[in-house]
């Protein structure tokens, strides 16, 4: 049971502090989505993100994947190592530049993708369903504005 207050110190009210709220809402929904596939497919969040961008853009390099997922290159490198080992991503070497990978989903990768993507969309719908249609529209507009450029 909370006791003293300290109005003279202007403490932060976490529960209405926007960055804190964002963090809680974000973690809650991301975790819910992750729970859907984590155990089921032995697939980490970082790995799923990599698969998601490769599903949209075939032939990216690791660096481009990192850009599009907002992950750092170490995380991408590790996710790719696991995905390739599991036969979910194919990697070959760019014919002009031997440093680069050329990445894409394998058939097995697509199979998982086509199972997980609808579940993720479903979770998004569940989240948005808690808002009025008007609020949903505002949220999308606001998030678009707040996304960092190149995000």
Applying CB under 8 A, the residues found at the interface with a copy of itself are: 2-6, 9-30, 33, 49, 52-53, 55-60, 64, 68-70, 110, 113-114, 117-118, 120-121, 123-124, 127-128, 130-131, 135, 138-148, 151
Contact 103, 80 (CB under 8 A): yes
What whole-number distance in Å separates Cα of residue 79 and Cα of residue 85? 10
What is the separation of C-alpha 121 from the centre of its chain, rounded to a whole number of angstroms?
A: 12
Contact 50, 76 (CB under 8 A): yes
Least distance in Å: CB of 86 to DNA?
13
**62 lies in the site for DNA, by CB under 7 A:** yes
Q: Kindly tell me which residue out of 43, 88, 89, 101 binds DNA, with binding defined by CB under 7 A.
A: 101
What whole-number distance in Å separates Cα of residue 42 and Cα of residue 44? 7
Interface stretch with DNA, choices 6-14, 64-72, 132-140, 143-151 (CB under 7 A): 64-72
């Amino acid at each position: 049971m909370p006791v003293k207050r300290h109005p003279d110190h202007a403490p932060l009210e976490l529960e209405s502090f926007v960055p804190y709220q964002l963090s809680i809402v974000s973690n809650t929904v991301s975790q819910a989505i992750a729970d859907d596939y984590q155990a089921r497919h032995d697939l980490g969040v970082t790995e799923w993100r990599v698969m998601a961008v490769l599903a949209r853009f075939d032939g990216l390099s690791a660096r481009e994947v990192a850009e599009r997922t907002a992950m750092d290159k170490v995380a991408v490198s590790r996710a790719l190592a696991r995905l390739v080992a599991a036969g979910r991503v194919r990697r070959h070497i760019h014919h002009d530049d031997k440093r680069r990978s050329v990445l894409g989903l394998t058939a097995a990768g697509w199979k998982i993708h086509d199972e997980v993507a609808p579940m993720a969309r479903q979770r998004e719908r569940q989240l948005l369903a808690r808002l009025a249609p008007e609020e949903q529209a505002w949220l999308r507009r606001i998030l678009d504005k707040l996304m960092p450029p190149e995000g």
